[in-house]
Chains A and B, each alone.
Chain A
Amino acid sequence: MKILIVEDDPVLLDGLTRSLRRSAYAVDCVRNGSEADHALAIQNYSLVILDLGLPVIDGLEVLRRLRLRKTRTPVLILTARDALEDRVNGLDLGADDYLTKPFDLPELEARVRALIRRSEYDGSVDLVLGALCFNTTDRSASLNGQPLELSARELGVLEILLMRAGRVVSKEQLTEHLYGWGDEVSYNAIEVYVHRLRKKLEEAGAQIRTIRGLGYLLEKPSEK
């Protein structure tokens, strides 16, 4: 799950980034409209948190350009402008949610989860595969009702494999979801995460298969 934050205030940007990384999201952040536009043109994000009063290119323009490219990435507008027409305008241009500054962090986090849930998990709160369950609200995994001890990266890998259970997930797709810019990306590390995860999932009867040259695949138990 990778989130792009577009915000020109450094303190707020720092706070949002840290809070979302804590929730095991990969986060990219930019401080102006043109950088945001550029990032959105070359990358896929699970969610964009967009400030409206941005230098260079206004937030609404960034949103308009994003929707022109037929991208369905959910957009959460985060702004000081709270007039009705601003909100209507933002939502009409293709935003999915609207939050006015100053906001409560728990509310923002809940809205982020809700938006991602809707777009990535078809709206369900839990991803279930046999005895394995991934709760999208508190981003935790459990096996036969017992919580699984997983690191943030391992959770990330499990999440994407669960979302695409039965299909091949490439290493590139994994890295794109797991890392923000500036993070040190290494395929070896991914192999390590997959290895650890595989061991922890043994009991579940779910198996992560390595498809040589292509990536990984989480087998559904029934297919076994």
Chain B
Amino acid sequence: MKNSNRTLRGQLLFWLLIPLLLLWLVSGIISYFIALNFANVAYDRSLLDNARALAQQVRVVNGKIAVNLPPAAKEILQSDEHDKIYYEVRGPSGEFIIGNSGLPSPPMEQRIAGQASYSDGVLHGEKIRVASVYLVLNGTHAKNLVLVQVAETLIKRKILAQDILSSTILPQLLLIILAGVTVWFGVGRGLSSLQRLQRAIRNRSHRDLSPVAEASAPKEVYPLIHAINDLMARLAKVLAAQQRFIADAAHQLRTPLAGLKTQTEIALRETEFDQVRHALKQIARSAEQATRLANQLLTLARAEPEFGKPPSLKPVDLNSLVKETAGEWVPEALKKNIDLGFEGSPTPAVIKGDIFLLRQMVGNLLDNAIRYTAEGGLVTARVTVDGNHTMVSVDDTGPGIPAQERERVFERFYRVLGSKSDGSGLGLAIVHEIASSHHAEVSLEPIDNLGTGTSVRIRF
């Protein structure tokens, strides 16, 4: 039952049938009382007729009140299919004359001749209905009234009321059942268009992200279809970005692999030690290149919000983070005799960010700076706090980036013309991606007016 409430059909049936059944019950109770009333009116009249007929048999014989009941009349009075019938005649002073004693007196105080009244009472433990009439006997004083009462039990009244009730209430019940059945099939028919929609969606390939056609569905479902289509559009966008990324990544990995294969082949063919050694050096170089590329691709994938969870933001002290990361790059800088330095801010530089990603960002900045700076150059990592803004910057004394290329260096796989380095073209793209996921601004400018050197600044 709980489950059917969740279906549209179940809910509709529930909300239709429960009120209808309640209404039916109330209407049944009301009908019963109305029917009982009609039965009372009808049977009261015949009861009174009997009382009047009995009254006509009351005579005064020799100054005494006598009732002359022929046996046939007695028979009529006492034989009834369902009910027991009682009668009673009392004299002016209330004395019992004839009949079954013990009938309750009429409630009316004022006695008027010819006046009829009805009352309810109990006799021998059974409920009875009593019809009473007063009459003046010929030749006696007008104030000497004789009371004639006829009473009966209530069985046939009840039977009549029940007959009336069942003749109204059973067709109603049938109507309700009919309504239920109609709703059952009507909802089924109405839902069949939804089932068509469901089939259309279910039969779709998981690659098909085109909008669902709304034409076949009922208008009430349009908002749902629009929501689904909106989701589809967003999914398609993310999937397209993902596919582009994977294709880019695969292509980028192919080049170092081609280098690896070629150099391996050469090494296998060569017999001279120096030649083999040269090839092996080249192999090591492209293996390193492929490793770095794979790592960078992973970082990029993690930084991109479309690919998974948003970065987990926690308070990060940039002073210590940049200092630590710079420390890790010192050996690399020393290999090229580059003077790598750190300048922290005197005030705390705490922002909300993802520690892993921020470390990757600073690492890529330093990697880039060291990679593109000639031997003996200068690289400085800096943290500054200026009012509400915290800034991380990495300056180098490398060749600098021409003005027309400064925008493009943040594109994936873009490499500056003439650069002799093994860069993958992903470093600054990663920096840009991570900065954007932290709502930070990235800018790139030369360190002096001559256009040499590069200063990359991240403003949080």
Q: Which residues of A are interface residues toward B (Cβ below 8 A)?
A: 8-12, 14-16, 18-19, 22, 32, 53, 55-56, 78, 80-81, 100-106, 108
Q: Say whether B258 contacts A101, CB under 8 Å.
A: yes
Measured between beta carbons, the chain B residues less than 8 angstroms from A108 are 262
Mind listing 17 A-B residue pairs with CB under 8 Å? A11-B263, A11-B289, A12-B258, A12-B259, A14-B263, A15-B262, A53-B251, A53-B255, A80-B251, A80-B252, A101-B254, A102-B257, A102-B260, A103-B258, A105-B261, A105-B262, A108-B262
| Minimum Cβ distance to chain B for residue A153 (Å) | 19
Task: Judge whether B215 is part of the interface by a CB distance below 8 angstroms.
Answer: no
Q: Are A11 and B254 in contact (CB under 8 A)?
A: no
Q: Roughly how many angstroms separate A101 CA and B254 CA in the complex, as a whole number?
A: 6
Query: In the assembled complex, which residues on chain B have CB atoms less than 8 Å from the CB atom of A15?
Result: 259, 262-263, 265-266, 279, 282
Contacts of B261 on A, CB cut-off 8 Å? 102-105
> Which of A56, A80, A100, A103 has the most chain B CB within a 10 Å cutoff?
A80
Is B417's CB under 8 angstroms from A11's CB? no
Q: Is B418 an interface residue (CB 8 A)?
A: yes
CA distance A8 to B256 in the complex (A): 11
What's the Cα separation between A11 and B262 when bound, in Å? 9
**B200-221, CB < 8 A from A:** none
Q: Which B positions have Cβ atoms within 8 angstroms of A?
A: 250-252, 254-263, 265-266, 269, 275, 279, 282-283, 285-286, 289, 415-418, 420, 422
Considering the complex, give the chain B residue whose CB is closest to the CB of A83. B247
A11: chain B residues at CB < 8 Å are 256, 259-260, 263, 282-283, 285-286, 289
Residues in A neighbouring B250, C-beta threshold 8 A: 80
Give the CA-CA distance A14 to B261 in the complex, in Å: 12
Q: Within the complex, which residue of A8, A18, A55 is in contact with B266, where a contact is CB–CB below 8 Å?
A: A18
B251 touches A12 (CB 8 A): no
- Give which listed residue, A19, A80, A104, contacts B255 with CB less than 8 A: A80
Majority secondary structure of chain B interface residues (helix, strand, loop or mixed): helix
CA distance A80 to B254 in the complex (A): 6
CB-CB < 8 A to B269: which residues of A?
22
| Cβ-defined contact, B265 with A101, below 8 A | no
CB pair B254 A55 closer than 8 Å = no
Most A CB atoms within 10 A — which of B260, B289, B417?
B417
- Name the residue on A nearest B284 (C-beta): A11
Measured in the bound complex, the distance between the Cα atoms of B259 and A8 in whole Å is 11
Q: 4 tightest A-B contacts by CB? A: A15-B262, A11-B259, A101-B258, A12-B259
**In the complex, what residues of B have CB within 8 A of residue A81's CB?**
251
Q: Please determine whether B263 and A101 come into contact, CB atoms closer than 8 angstroms.
A: no
**Which residue from A32, A100, A103 sits with its C-beta under 8 Å from B417?**
A32
The residue in chain A whose Cβ has the minimal distance to the Cβ of B257 is A102
* A19 in contact with B257 given A11-B282, A11-B289, A81-B251 (CB within 8 Å): no
A-side contacts of B289, CB under 8 Å: 11
Q: How many whole Å from B411's CB to the nearest CB in chain A?
A: 12
Is the beta-carbon distance between A104 and B417 smaller than 8 angstroms? no
Instruction: Tell me which residues across on chain A come within 8 A of B263, comparing CB atoms.
Output: 11, 14-15
Chain A nearest CB from B136 CB (Å) reads 124
Contact, CB under 8 Å: B251 / A19: no
Q: How far is the CA of A8 from the CA of B413 in the complex (A)?
A: 13
Taking CB atoms, residues of chain A closer than 8 Å to B422 are 10
Say how far A212's CB is from chain B's closest CB, in angstroms: 41
- How far is A8 from B423 in the complex, measured between Cα atoms in Å? 11
By a CB distance below 8 angstroms, the chain A residues around B275 are 18
Q: How far is the CB of A123 from chain B (nearest CB, A)?
A: 27
Residues of A within 8 A of B258 (CB): 9, 12, 78, 80, 101-103
Q: A103 vs B250: C-alpha distance in the bound complex, in angstroms?
A: 15
Q: Which residue of chain B is the closest to A78 with respect to CB atoms?
A: B258
Contacts A55-B415, A102-B257 given; does A16 touch B251 at CB 8 Å: no
Minimum CB–CB distance for B417 against chain A, Å: 5
Distance A213 CA – B420 CA, assembled complex (angstroms): 43
CB–CB A12/B252 < 8 A:
no
Known: A12-B286, A15-B263, A105-B262. 15 other contacts (CB 8 A): A9-B255, A9-B259, A11-B263, A11-B283, A12-B258, A14-B263, A15-B262, A15-B282, A19-B265, A19-B266, A53-B251, A53-B255, A55-B417, A81-B251, A102-B261
Query: Across the two chains, which residue of chain B brings its CB closest to A108?
Result: B262
